[in-house]
Amino acid sequence: MSTVTFPPTETAAYHLTRRVPIAFLEEEVQSVLNRLPGQSFDTAETIYILDQQGYLQGLVHLLTLLAASPDQPLQEIMSSYPPTANLKEDQEKVAGLAVHYGLSAVPIVDQQGYFWGVVPAQALIDILRREHIEDLHRLAGIQRENSHARRSMEAPPVRRAQDRLPWLLVGLAGSILATFIVSRFEQVLTEQIYVSFFVPGIVYLADAIGTQTEAIAVRGLSLSQNSLSHTLLGEIQTGCFIGFILGGISFPIVSIIFSDIRLAAAVSLAIFTAGGVATSLGIMLPWALDRAGTDPAFGSGPVATIVQDVLSLLIYFLFIQWLL
């Protein structure tokens, strides 16, 4: 058996349990059933099948074992080469593997495939719960290492402000930039004041579409087994489709109320384009942070919101300038 230095607390190794039923590749059903009584396990839903060197070859569920013929070889009833996670795998990736493949426990192996144990169901539930609470904090722009919501609520006001301010300062800088963009179109706003009426609605719709995408992307990067390109393409198509519908609805309304087809076209095109940009940003910003080794949730909330606001304003005023 090789020795391994277990990595930090948010890895598969930290949640590992070794007290699980195992069997060997050449055994028969009755041999395994005779050995199970009297043993103590942390989880016993699944029997893990190893070769003589201790490398994982497959698994068989206990109910399948009980239903099999006593003299049936394990090789005939086991699921070969099941999904596994590495000892150093991030805990969130392990939970995502369990969700994707419907596993009640995730087998853990080293780089060579040597079986070390499993991350059991209770640990998986705990991981998902803690990550969910942490995501809620970060989506709200609360920078706190401690993921316990109750402690965050009971912290002194100064500490709570310290948790929330860092990303809001980024938002403040972005709002200054947004003000600067609006000021560049002062002449348009002066000559046609009604152009400003649509700014809140366009900004809101882009934010709403982007927020929906961020919520999917933040955990999808960890829990989904789909590639980035597949997820990105699907979300951009979804955002453009939503933008097309919302823009299509707004076009006749604006056209009738303001009796200006060009204004209606500018508003509709801005909604459509901002929807596609918001979904792209909602996927790419968390992905970029994930690739940089930062939790992707830090790219959501106030940061993504202000970037979407600035881009939405820029898109809208460029269409206004082009069409009006």
Amino acid at 33: L
Q: What is the pLDDT of residue 151?
A: 53
Q: What is the three-class DSSP state of 145?
A: coil
Alpha-helical (H) ranges within 41-120 are: 62-67, 74-77, 91-101
- The CATH architecture annotation of domain 13-119 reads Roll (3.10)
Which residue bears the tokens 């994707």? 100
Contact residues for 288 (Cβ-Cβ < 8 A; gap 6+): 299
In this predicted structure, which of 22-36, 155-169, 307-321 has the lowest mean pLDDT? 155-169
Residue 220 has pLDDT above 70, yes or no: no
Residue ranges covered by each domain of the chain? 13-119, 178-323
Q: What is the mean pLDDT of residues 97-106?
A: 88
pLDDT tens column, 158-203:
776 776 777 778 788 888 999 999 999 888 888 888 999 999 999 9
Q: What is the pTM of this model?
A: 0.61
Indicate whether 254 pLDDT > 60. yes
> First and final CA of the chain: distance in angstroms?
75
% of the chain exceeding 70 in pLDDT? 81
- Dist CA 23 CA 5 (whole Å): 26
Give the pLDDT of residue 4: 42
In this structure, are residues 108 and 116 in contact, taking their beta carbons and an 8 Å threshold? yes
Q: Kindly indicate whether the domain formed by 178-323 is annotated with CATH number 3.40.190.10.
A: no
The dihedral through the CA atoms of 306, 203, 134, 295 has a sign that is negative
Residue 313 has pLDDT above 50, yes or no: yes
pLDDT in tens, 223-238: 565 666 777 777 778 8
Contact indicator for 83, 8 with CB cutoff of 8 Å: no
Mean pLDDT of the chain: 83
CA distances to 28, 32, 42, 121, 271 from 37, in Å? 16, 10, 14, 22, 65
